[in-house]
Copies of this chain bind each other. A is one copy, B any other.
Amino acid sequence: MRVPEETRTVVLTDSEPLKVVLLGCGVVGSQVARLLLSKGDDFTARIGRRLELVGIGVRRPELERPGIDPALVTSDVMALATRPDVDLVIEVMGGIEPARSLILAAIAHKASVITANKQLLAQDGATLYAAAEAAGVDLYYEAAVAGAIPIVRPLRESLVGDEVTAVMGIVNGTTNFILDKMHTQGWSFDVALAEAQRLGFAEPDPTADVEGFDAAAKAAILASLAFHTRVKLDDVVREGITRVSASDVATASQMGFVIKLLARASLAEDGSIAVGVHPTMVPTNHPLANVSGAFNAVFIESRNAGQLMFMGPGAGGSPTASAVLGDVVTAARNRVRGVAGPGESSYSARPIASSGAVASKFYASLLVDDEPGVLAKIADCFARHRVSIQAVRQDAEPTEDGQQARLAILTHTAQASDMAGAVAELRTMNVVRGDVGLMRVEGV
């Protein structure tokens, strides 16, 4: 195939600037504005054309914004998004509406869009993609997953010649901070959460973080990219960290594990994909185990590249602005050349496995009567539910009325529904005392 010469665009640095609109001027937006206004020469050199920030849409235009010309600021966000002369619209407001309407309007007006909006992409990415494709414009969103870590572009482009089999990520800094404190300080979940709130790492209403909603949105986006399949927020099995106890953490530590909230998407042998967010035990020598504090990391397994890991700051104004501006430069370059970058790749259209069909290794912890034959009964229960045991550890614990034993059981890979069946039966057994602890295990 020969490319006709006349479609190539000559880049001229001295021609008309590319006009940029910024929607949202909070923690991320203000950093984006600052960099657009202060680093103009670098952007010009890297794009081959000048960028001109022509408007900033905000809810409260009356607020003081140091370094930003008040003439740029307006609350009429829809007028900004639909300016006919605008080339690039950056959306960093978050939330579903009005972000969704603004992005669709901007696309309809032939602007390329750069967004950091994970909720919107996870709920309705397909609509945005379809609109961008119909308009022949770009939709970039590196900042929507794992902050400054380049992960969207590697999945969309670097690994596009490979077959990804699993993606596992620590993609929520708040829960990572909380679990970290539970491990290193021995704190309870409540104490660690209170400290995260005091430091501003957790919201006054921490639900989106601690119940795994934020991580689930990112899991949906990562899974869509990794498996060339549309995955929506509703497809993600979600479990937060509110029920992780100090004793779970202590037991995990004793066994050489740390508990991390992992967003995980994997390809099963039957070609279906499983997407979930779960507190997960990871061995301390696994690369993900050492990702601490507010850092994020994404671990990828693929057929040819093998195991890759990407690590970096998962949030914050400057890191997120870095990801946004990388996309701005790319979209601007495309604009100068008169092309759009890669669109949605959903050709695989793989089925999403039901939550019960999702397989992983599990760790079960239970207190039992300390008498001969108990382990055999427990093992038989697992076997009847098709769960194979990889390792068992039994420790005697003195009690008021004699002795009991704590069983720590690591299973081979089992289906979640089988595991749930085994645990349900264990809970009815006379020899089992109290509740049965259950957690997923990765990396062993």
Q: List B contacts of A325 (CB < 8 A).
A: 160-162, 304
CB within 8 Å for A150 and B150 given contacts A157-B330, A318-B306 = yes
Hey, which chain B residues are within 8 Å of A43, CB to CB?
A: 161
**A421 on the B face (CB < 8 A):** no
Given contacts A9-B339, A149-B308, A158-B142, A345 and B46 within 8 Å (CB-CB): yes
8 Å CB contacts to B: which residues of A1-37? 1-5, 7-9, 15-19, 31, 35
Q: How far is the CA of A308 from the CA of B318 in the complex (A)?
A: 13
- Which of A5, A303, A327, A329 has most B Cβ within 10 Å? A329
Contact of A329 among B39, B149, B160, B163 (CB under 8 A): B160
A119-136 residues with Cβ-Cβ distance < 8 A to B are: 136
Residues 152-170 of A contacting B (Cβ, < 8 Å):
153-154, 157-163
Stretch at the interface among A309-317, A406-414, A433-441: A309-317
Is A394 an interface residue when CB atoms closer than 8 A count as contact?
no
When the two chains form their complex, are residues B154 and A150 in contact, meaning their CB atoms are under 8 A apart? yes
Q: Within 8 Å CB of A338, what residues of B? A: 3-4, 7-8, 339
Q: Which of A2, A87, A328: most chain B Cβ within 10 A? A: A2
Check A322–B307 contact: CB distance below 8 A: no
Known contacts: A7-B338, A305-B322, A306-B318. The answer to whether A345 contacts B45 by CB under 8 A is: yes
In-complex Cβ contact of A335 among B3, B87, B303, B347 (8 A): B3
Size category of the A interface is 35 or more
Residue from A7, A19, A110, A328 with most neighbouring chain B CB atoms (10 Å): A7
Q: Check B302–A322 contact: CB distance below 8 A.
A: yes
Asked whether A393 is an interface residue with its Cβ less than 8 Å from the other chain, the reply is no
Asked whether B150 lies within 8 Å of A158 as measured between CB atoms, the reply is yes
Minimum Cβ distance to chain B for residue A14 (Å): 13
Contact assessment for A305 and B287 in the assembled complex, using a CB-CB cutoff below 8 Å:
no
Q: Is the CB of A160 within 8 A of B326?
A: yes
A–B Cβ pairs within 8 angstroms, 18 of them:
A1-B87, A2-B85, A3-B110, A4-B338, A31-B304, A45-B228, A46-B160, A46-B161, A150-B154, A150-B308, A157-B329, A161-B323, A162-B326, A305-B319, A306-B313, A308-B312, A311-B311, A338-B339
Q: Which residues of A contact B (CB under 8 A)?
A: 1-5, 7-9, 15-19, 31, 35, 39, 42-43, 45-46, 49, 85, 87, 110, 136, 142, 148-150, 153-154, 157-163, 228, 287, 290, 302-313, 316, 318-319, 321-330, 333, 335-340, 342, 345, 347-348
Top 6 closest pairs, chain A to chain B, by CB: A161-B325, A150-B158, A148-B305, A7-B338, A304-B322, A308-B312
